[in-house]
Amino acid sequence: MATTKKPIILAVDDDLQVLNAVDRDLRSEFRRDYRILRASSGEEALTTLRELRAREEPLALILADQRMPGMEGVELLSEARGIFPDAKRVLLTAYADTEAAIRAINNARLDHYLMKPWDPPQQLLYPTLHDLLGAWQREYQPKYSGLRLIGFQWSPLSHDIKDFLSGYLVGFQWLDFETNAEAQDLLTAKGLSAADLPLVIYEDGVAVARPSKTDLAQHMGLTITATQDLYDVVVIGAGPSGMAAAVYGASEGLKTLMIERQTFGGQAGTSSRIENYLGFPTGLSGSELAHRAWAQAVRLGAEILAPQEVTELCVQDGYKVLTLTDGSKVRTRAVVLTTGVSYRTLDVPGVDRLSGAGVYYGSARTEARSCDEQDVYIVGGGNSAGQAAMYLATYARRVFIVIRGKSLAASMSAYLIEQIGNTPNIEILPFTEVAEVCGQDHLEAVVLKTNGEITKHPARALFIFIGAKPSTEWVCDTVICDGKGFVLTGRDLVTDPRYATSWKHNREPYLLETCVPGVFAAGDSRAGAMARVASAVGEGSMAIKFVHQYLDE
């Protein structure tokens, strides 16, 4: 969350007694709402102003004495106008300098002058300053002081960072370097160039050029290193099934670790609105559901590593040993694979080249605002595509859903079909497929093929939601997967002659157990699973029951 920095009043006078008196009176009246700073010369004041500008501190008012050696008050206040053009500027002067003060108001555009002495301040100082500060407050718009991301709209790396931050519900301000003057000023102030983009500026002012997900995670306080030598159960994947497994494992006293390579929620976490999940009659976003589950798992004692990826699973002396991308290893007695699925890639000319630059897999929530009053296209007819269409319709001029079949009925829930039918700026394009995507450095048009007819249409963005590809490549050498990469479990291992010899234990495998005893699978990456959030949550919960049975053997 962004925080607002308290505005500053700067008092400047070379006479220490006068400066002390000004400082005392200002603090007495204004310290609750303003920070009071002081400087003993014009040069020191300018240095302070430049530092405040670099730190983006708000200056409300500067009060400077006229007669100072080296730089007079009028000259200082004129210089200050170039640094803080909106700050109120007041000249402090003796009676003999009244004429000069009046000229300065006309020539240097000062806001006011005050006579010395100003005793009592309740009559001769505070009313004037209150009026000036009130006028400043009416015009003042606090600078955003949370995390900011500066980059190019069509940069794939900028998109990846936006997607990552959004996935963890981290608030940030997006500044397009090509269209935002503030972004250019910030880059210059940091002594950087466009070659350093994307640039993340954290709330504490630290700037990191082209940050990795690990850099972002560490600054966000996420954990990427395991703390225990041995766990009872490690859950791999933080989608709905993984979250449920972590919640139930931790709540039932198991030493539980969950590892997620990207962001919480899996594919469901990218859904803009889930309206058919039990207990939420008005619906909720996938990211909301994921972060509620994450908070619940942590509260109950689960340890979570993110973003971190498992690259290998092997069995040593009955224990399961997981190797992570950084080379570290995690030992556990049992494993629950909840790696989920990812969207299949669209294999047409131009997609690979423009991926992240107008062509996106999922990511409707991340890029929706950039599609304001533009035409966008969605490929896919499942619930994720429908939820994305409804969300994008809030921003885009028109949303086109491209499907190969004649309708959405075979693949989308009825409530979504009804909502889409009642949304005037969503149009379904049946018997259609994308033949090509076009553009130089970003998507400019899509080529569609409808019943053999080829047409080209301008497009701001193309969102792809086609099919499910299990994220199991790294583990298929250890557990048995079917021809599509989905993990086989339970009775499938003993009833199918092709896999009957893979189970060598003296009991039948538990319902969600893989061919490796103590390694279980749940959720969308398991063969035969139902692609629904509630089903995934149920399987993740059930997996912990079987983990208990395995550990009790």
Same domain flag for 437 and 530: no
**Is the residue at 393 inside a domain?**
yes
- Cβ atoms within 10 A of the Cβ of 30, count? 19
Q: How confident is the model at residue 119 (pLDDT cuts 50, 70, 90)?
A: confident
Least confident of 116-120, 359-363, 373-377, 531-535: 116-120
**Could you give phi then psi for residue 200, rounded to 5 degrees?**
-105, 130
Please give the average per-residue pLDDT across 295-319, as a whole number.
Answer: 95
CATH code for the domain in which residue 379 is found: 3.50.50.60
Q: Decide: 306 and 221 in contact? Cβ < 8 Å.
A: no
Report the distance separating Cα 450 and Cα 456, nearest Å. Answer: 11
Residue 507, judged by CB atoms within 10 A of its CB (0-12, 13-18, 19+), counts as: exposed
Q: Decide: 399 and 389 in contact? Cβ < 8 Å.
A: yes
pLDDT computed for residue 228 by the predictor: 96
Provide the edge-to-edge strand list for the sheet that holds 35-39: 35-39, 8-12, 59-65, 88-93, 112-115
> In the listed set 170, 191, 220, which residue is the last one of a domain according to the structure?
220
Same domain flag for 39 and 159: no
Least confident of 85-89, 94-98, 526-530: 94-98
> In the listed set 139, 173, 189, which residue is the last one of a domain according to the structure?
139
Same domain flag for 21 and 112: yes
Q: How confident is the model at residue 90 (pLDDT cuts 50, 70, 90)?
A: very high
The residues facing 331 across adjacent strands are 230, 321
Q: For the chain, how many structural domains are there in total?
A: 4
**Res 472 pLDDT > 90:** yes
Same domain flag for 26 and 131: yes
User: Above pLDDT 70, what percent of the chain?
Assistant: 97
Same domain flag for 130 and 182: no
**Is the residue at 296 inside a domain?**
yes
**Res 107 pLDDT > 70:** no
**Is the residue at 1 inside a domain?**
no
pTM of the model: 0.76
Contacts of range 51-59, beta carbons closer than 8 Å, 24 or more positions apart: 52/8, 52/84, 53/83, 53/84, 54/189, 55/205, 56/5, 56/143, 56/145, 57/5, 57/8, 58/5, 58/7, 58/8, 58/140, 58/142, 58/143, 59/7, 59/8, 59/10, 59/84, 59/87
Least confident of 61-65, 80-84, 496-500, 535-539: 496-500
Same domain flag for 307 and 395: no
**Res 505 pLDDT > 60:** yes
Tokens of residue 112, six digits: 């006011």
Please give the average per-residue pLDDT across 424-433, as a whole number.
Answer: 97
**Is the residue at 297 inside a domain?**
yes
Same domain flag for 15 and 132: yes
Please give the average per-residue pLDDT across 315-329, as a whole number.
Answer: 95
Alpha-helical runs (H) found in 193-311: 213-220, 240-251, 286-299
Least confident of 56-70, 84-98, 245-259: 84-98
pLDDT computed for residue 97 by the predictor: 65
Q: Report how many helices (DSSP H) and strands (DSSP E) the chain contains, helices first.
A: 17, 26
**Res 266 pLDDT > 90:** no
Q: How confident is the model at residue 3 (pLDDT cuts 50, 70, 90)?
A: very low
Please give the average per-residue pLDDT across 211-221, as a whole number.
Answer: 91
pLDDT computed for residue 362 by the predictor: 86
Q: Decide: 359 and 464 in contact? Cβ < 8 Å.
A: yes
Same domain flag for 93 and 203: no
CA distances from 40 to 13, 48, 67, 553 (A): 5, 11, 12, 79
pLDDT computed for residue 1 by the predictor: 36
**Three-class secondary structure of residue 494 per DSSP:** helix
Beta pairing, strands 359-361 & 445-450:
unpaired
Range of the domain at 284: 230-333+478-551
**Is the residue at 3 inside a domain?**
no
**Is the residue at 251 inside a domain?**
yes
Tell me the DSSP string of 37-64: EEESSHHHHHHHHHHHHHTTPPEEEEEE
pLDDT computed for residue 2 by the predictor: 41
**Kind and range of the H or E element at 29?**
helix 16-30
Residues with Cβ < 8 Å from 28, sequence gap 6 or more?
Answer: 121
Alpha-helical runs (H) found in 223-271: 240-251
Please give the average per-residue pLDDT across 65-70, as a whole number.
Answer: 89
**Res 104 pLDDT > 80:** no
Report the distance separating Cα 150 and Cα 209, nearest Å. Answer: 9
Report the distance separating Cα 343 and Cα 532, nearest Å. Answer: 15
pLDDT computed for residue 105 by the predictor: 67
Same domain flag for 133 and 13: yes
CA-wise closest residue to 369 among 157, 147, 166, 146: 166
Tokens of residue 465, six digits: 């939601």
CA-wise closest residue to 349 among 442, 447, 455: 447
Q: Decide: 340 and 266 in contact? Cβ < 8 Å.
A: yes
- DSSP type of residue 490: T
Residues with Cβ < 8 Å from 328, sequence gap 6 or more?
Answer: 225, 226
Tokens of residue 281, six digits: 């009659």
Least confident of 231-245, 278-292, 329-343, 457-471: 278-292
Beta pairing, strands 147-151 & 172-176:
parallel
Reply yes or no: is the peptide bond before residue 307 cis, omega within 30 of 0.
yes
The residues facing 436 across adjacent strands are 447
> In the listed set 78, 110, 139, which residue is the last one of a domain according to the structure?
139
**Is the residue at 81 inside a domain?**
yes
Same domain flag for 129 and 15: yes
Tell me the DSSP string of 369-411: GGGTTSEEEEE--SHHHHHHHHHHTTTSSEEEEE-SSS-STTT
Average per-residue pLDDT for the chain? 92
CATH code for the domain in which residue 44 is found: 3.40.50.2300
CATH code for the domain in which residue 152 is found: 3.40.30.10
**Is the residue at 289 inside a domain?**
yes
Report the distance separating Cα 517 and Cα 541, nearest Å. Answer: 18
